[in-house]
Amino acid sequence: WKGHLGAIGCNAVISSCEKCAQWLQALSVLRSVCDLRAAFDQIGGNAAISACGSCGMWQHASSLLLQMLQSKLSPDEVTYGAMLGACDAGRKWRLAVDVLTDMQARKIAPNMIGFNGAIGACRSLGPWQAALCLLASMLQNRVPTDK
């Protein structure tokens, strides 16, 4: 299949892997796309970050985000939301705060999904004060809360 699928087909395969929590397969497809010099694009990167994050593989998700940045791809709310979901699954509250800081530095407004991921990362071993600060920031930025 490697020689016959373009970026759109590979992205569809990566998205399918994400939905089935097959993060290792998603990374394999993504590596194949890059090896073929096919377009490593935002859609495939977002899906792979999400696939890794949904399985608690925050290290891989973080590595993919860095790869996107090095490839001159512009992460968006979806990218960062997936990364914050990975922080939540991995209980990496400090990383979540760093990701939110990076979003704001890049003028990308965190949405409800992003804030929920960051706040969720605080629920295990993170300090409750960080969760309250994140909630205050969410309200200050007028991000709608869950109902």
Nearest CA to 113 out of 46, 62, 24 is that of 46
d(CA 118, CA 87): 7
Q: What is the pLDDT along the chain (147 residues), one digit of tens a residue?
A: 445 556 666 666 676 766 666 677 777 776 666 554 455 678 778 888 888 888 888 998 999 899 888 888 889 999 999 999 898 888 888 898 899 889 889 999 888 888 788 878 777 655 666 766 766 777 777 777 665
- Name the DSSP letter for residue 145: P
pTM, rounded to two decimals: 0.71
Which residues are CB-contacts of 66 (< 8 A; sequence separation ≥ 6)?
A: none
Q: Looking at residue 83, what is its pLDDT? A: 93
Structure tokens at 72: 């001159």
Please answer whether residues 121 and 86 qualify as being in contact, where contact means their C-beta atoms are separated by less than 8 angstroms: no
Are the CB atoms for 54 and 89 separated by under 8 Å?
Answer: yes
